[in-house]
Amino acid sequence: MAVRPIDVEHMSLSELPEDVQQIVCQQLFDASDLARLAVCSRACRSMVSGPTLWQSLLVNRFGEDALRDNSSFNSAALRALYIRKSRTIVPALEIGAVHLGTQHLTHEQRADSTFGQVLLLRSVCWLDLQAKFYGVMPGNYEIIWRTMKVTTGNVGLANSPVVASIDTLKVQSSVSCLDEKEKPDTCHMQLDMQQFNELPTGHWVDVPLGRLRVDHFSDVSSRLWCHSGDWKQGLAWDSVTLKDLSRRDQHRVASLAASSVAPLVRAGRQAADAACILQ
């Protein structure tokens, strides 16, 4: 009996094998994209409603430890956990960077990283990094860049200017700093490379790079850049996090108390003066 060939070119998404459907859905790691897929048809809704997909997304994007934050493994609980983490955490693999993928900036696996991989700065003149948070809920936040100095020497010239900025990604939104008479489009915070030179070698440090208030659902961008002509090297980034300041008393970052990183921490706190309003 002849077997009828499968017309793959004209096969709909719902006709694909279940494991292939899961692979397709995992490429749409943005929760809003998955929500749009779910309203396309009953078949698509079924594809994104199962707990297997959300469990896979959590593990693939945020590591095995992500499941420890949830006592329930039903679909609704896993989906809620994934959405919450997606709004406030940018793993190293999702940090945008100029020169990424070259000999200057690469991704590398590290056992001591939160999500398995880090963004490693080998050597660049033009350093430009960006982390994007989508669908941030109203509230007060502090932006934390989890950073490690991986060289025993200096990472750059002490007086090279480093700028950390906060902005929104939506046209209808704006950023203003409370300490400015005129409201700029972006909130900037000025540092220098010496503050990174003074980081302890081989230890992850949660570096605060600005505070903000979100009044409406917003897409937020945090950028770290140094465009001086000298070479920078020997830094690694694990993730960028929006720390909810309303929960600050629940946990404190031990590294902020370390005297060796006090200058950089103080600079980060000065962004308070950095408290930005996202409208």
- Where is average pLDDT lowest: 69-83, 100-114, 175-189, 262-276? 262-276
Q: Is 113 exposed, middle or buried (0-12, 13-18, 19+ CB in 10 A)?
A: buried
pLDDT of residue 9: 62
User: Which of 16-30, 35-49, 113-127, 261-275 is the most confident on average?
Assistant: 113-127
Helices and strands (H, E) in the chain, number of each type: 7, 13
User: Which of 5-9, 182-186, 219-223, 251-255 is the most confident on average?
Assistant: 219-223
| pLDDT (average), residues 133-154 | 92
Q: d(Cα 215, Cα 279) in Å, to the nearest integer?
A: 6
Burial 49-77 (b: 16+ CB within 10 A, else e): eeeebbbebbeebbbeebeeebeeeebee
Select from 66, 120, 56, 72 the least CA-distant residue to 88. Answer: 66
Say yes or no to pLDDT of 15 above 60. yes
User: Which of 12-26, 35-49, 74-88, 239-253 is the most confident on average?
Assistant: 74-88
Q: What's this model's pTM, rounded to 2 decimal places?
A: 0.77
pLDDT of residue 73: 76
Q: What percent of the chain has pLDDT over 90?
A: 36
- Where is average pLDDT lowest: 58-62, 75-79, 165-169, 260-264? 260-264
pLDDT of residue 253: 42
- Mean pLDDT of the chain, nearest integer: 79
| pLDDT (average), residues 53-77 | 80
